[in-house]
Amino acid sequence: MSAPTGHSARVLVGIAAVLLVVAAAVPIFASSRRWRLLAVIAGLSCLGILLIGLAWGALITFLDWGYCGRGDSNYGKLGWSLLPPGPTCTWTVESNGVDASWGPTPVMTIWLITLILLGVVARLLVRKARDERRSESPTE
């Protein structure tokens, strides 16, 4: 079973692009209420992408040997790589008759980068909403 690297990467990049376009479309003179709305949208998107990535990792861990199947009941050993992040499969001559390895795919790297970027965007939007709210409040 191979990981859907291309499709997952396109989905994550598409979500990030939509959020950036929405953020860029907001005029500079937007009210603090709109900035708060954008901050909530970015925060929820960040949370959603976090949960999708964690669910994907949990699914791979749950599948364990099934993730590393090469057909004909030739299952490899599932492992995890830190750099680049993601699952790896290893087959040995002793147990599988072939010495090979596969992975990690770029999906987890793209997921982490998207997660970090959305977190930074959400933080900046929260700060902008707070600054706008302070500037709109009457000063004494």
Question: For 82-95, how does the pLDDT look when each residue is reduced to its tens digit (9 = 90+)?
Answer: 888 888 888 888 87
Using the predicted structure, report yes or no on whether residue 46 has a pLDDT greater than 70. Answer: yes
**What is the tens place of the pLDDT at every residue in 62-81?**
877 677 877 666 678 888 88
Give the domain ranges of the chain: 5-65+107-136
Q: How many CB atoms lie within 10 A of CB 80?
A: 14
SS3 call for 80: strand
**55, 94, 97, 107 from 47: Cα distances, Å:** 12, 43, 43, 17
pLDDT band at 106 (very low <50, low <70, confident <90, very high): confident
pLDDT digits (tens, 9 = 90+) for 3-23: 445 666 677 677 767 766 666
